[in-house]
Amino acid sequence: MIWFWLLILLFTVLIILMLIKAVQIQFEFNSDNEYLQITLLWFDPLLKVVIHLEEMRPKYKVFLLNKKVYDNVFKSQKKESRFNVKKSISAIKDVHIETEYGFNDPYETGIASGAIHMIEGWPNVTSIDQHPDFMVSEPFIHVKGTAKIHIGSALAQIMRG
């Protein structure tokens, strides 16, 4: 019986920590080699989830104490969810973005530079470091960034939706 109550206590502590401690998000995109990866870290190295594209299909891996415990491909969902995930975007905080990009036409690169500069005014974006290249032979886009999301406030906003 004591194991049951210890398990309940551990589960409760984990739920409370999940509501309090923010999840660190790291993302990276590279158009040269079609690389996309999103990493979610919570009490690193306790829990890490890596989402990446493999053969143009999203795949995820779950690591617990840096040991892979789960590896799977996302299944396509045919039915529509009743939760509005878009409402949880305001729960994302402390966004830092670093971009490098260039297009064949310098005019297009200039427009992209202006559009990215507009994102810097968004309330949750802390910094954007952009490096446009106006003279390229091959177009490219490289984006790296970090952010934090509080699961508790994200879930509350999704449920309100």
CA–CA separation, 14 vs 137, rounded Å? 51
Buried b (16+ CB within 10 A) or exposed e, 44-59: eeebbbbeeeeeeeee
The pLDDT, as a whole number, for residue 51 is 92
pLDDT above 90: percentage of residues in the chain: 43
Say whether pLDDT at 82 is over 60.
Answer: no
The pLDDT, as a whole number, for residue 86 is 64
pLDDT digits (tens, 9 = 90+) for 10-55: 889 888 887 788 899 999 999 988 889 999 998 888 889 999 987 7
Residue 57 CB contacts under 8 Å (≥ 6 apart), including other chains:
73, 74
In terms of C-beta density within 10 A (0-12 exposed, 13-18 middle, 19 or more buried), how is residue 112 classed?
middle
The pLDDT, as a whole number, for residue 152 is 75
Say whether pLDDT at 160 is over 90.
Answer: no
Whole-prediction pTM value? Answer: 0.78
Local confidence band at 73 (pLDDT 50, 70, 90 cut-offs): confident
CB distance 41 to 22 below 8 Å: no
CA–CA separation, 58 vs 143, rounded Å? 18
Say whether pLDDT at 122 is over 60.
Answer: yes
Q: Which residue has the tokens 């509350």?
A: 156
Domain ranges across the chain: 23-78, 80-161
